[in-house]
């Protein structure tokens, strides 16, 4: 029997992101279903927030100025690469993902500090592989390799390069445990879900408004559907192909409703 490495693992990346096995496809679909079902209760509580009995607790407001992207060579190079190749919608999504991840991490009260530079590089580059015309295999592997190139040029250690690569290659996995894939990968997945599934109950409304004003979500669902379809056609053994219509449909149905929108209705 041929050994299939765990999807998103370092070995999986080294092999170029091989097609998912049947068990891996089933696990991906089951895990994705669990994520979507797990978000149903907080989404309902948010929808019923005007009723005192169902009102969810509002997370505290985070000072986003404290999470400004680090001014380092690696972050600058990542930002330049992102803006040079990606669509405007993915550029905005990448920055939203960074800030949403930062918020979720700070709200967690985790005692260990997180590598902010590595987190920012991973967030900015996690989708750039979708725009690499010469790649083979999963787009996340192409993105991870671009991140490694930038990190190596900045003099990062191998372990830091691995942490960013893992954050990119595991980003489509339903669950990314920190003990297995590292803190950067775990928290990037948490923050990415906030944007993809519009989990606005996880943020203070002022933080959400500030981020959406800086990085609009307009056109994100349509651009995502286009890119997912393109990737699935190009790489039929990938996670996007396995998702079928699930991923773009979830994005299309998930929209943020800001406090200003609610008041204006």
Phi, psi at 209, each rounded to 5°: -60, -45
pTM: 0.93
d(CA 25, CA 20): 6
Residue 151 has pLDDT above 50, yes or no: yes
The fraction of the chain above a pLDDT of 90, given in percent, is 85
Contact 175, 196 (CB under 8 A): no
On the question of pLDDT at 5 being above 90, the answer is yes
- The pLDDT assigned to 54 comes to 61
- pLDDT of res. 2: 62
Answer yes or no: are the C-beta atoms of 88 and 95 closer than 8 Å: no
What is the C-alpha separation between 147 and 161, in angstroms, rounded? 8
264 has pLDDT over 50: no
Report pLDDT for 262.
Answer: 41
Confidence label for 259 from pLDDT (cuts 50, 70 and 90) = very low
Using DSSP's 3-state secondary structure scheme, residue 156 falls into: coil
Query: Which residue, among 28, 25, 17, has the nearest Cα to 175 in the 3D structure?
Result: 28
């Amino acid at each position: 029997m041929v050994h299939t490495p765990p999807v998103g693992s370092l070995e999986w990346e080294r092999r170029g992101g091989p097609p998912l096995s049947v068990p891996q496809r089933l696990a991906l679909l089951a895990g994705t279903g669990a994520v979507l079902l797990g978000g149903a209760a907080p989404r309902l509580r948010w929808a019923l927030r005007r009723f005192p009995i169902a009102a969810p607790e509002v997370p505290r407001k985070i000072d986003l100025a404290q999470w400004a992207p680090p001014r380092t060579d690696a972050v600058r190079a990542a930002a330049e690469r992102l803006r040079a190749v990606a669509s405007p919608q993915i550029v905005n999504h990448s920055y939203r993902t960074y800030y949403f991840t930062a918020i979720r991490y700070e709200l967690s009260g985790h005692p260990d500090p997180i590598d902010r530079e590595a987190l920012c590089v991973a967030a900015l580059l996690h989708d750039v592989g979708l725009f690499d015309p010469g790649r083979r295999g999963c787009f996340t592997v192409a993105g991870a390799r671009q991140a490694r190139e930038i990190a190596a040029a900045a003099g990062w250690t191998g372990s830091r390069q691995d942490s960013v690569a893992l954050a990119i290659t595991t980003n489509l996995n339903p669950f990314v445990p920190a003990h297995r894939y590292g803190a950067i990968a775990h928290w990037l997945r948490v923050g990415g879900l906030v944007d993809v599934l519009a989990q606005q109950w996880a943020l203070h409304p002022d933080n959400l408004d500030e981020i959406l004003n800086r990085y609009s979500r307009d056109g994100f669902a349509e651009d995502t559907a286009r890119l997912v379809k393109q990737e699935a056609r190009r790489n039929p053994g990938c996670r996007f192909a396995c998702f079928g219509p699930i991923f773009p449909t979830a994005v299309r149905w998930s929209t943020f409703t800001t406090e200003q929108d609610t008041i204006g209705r």
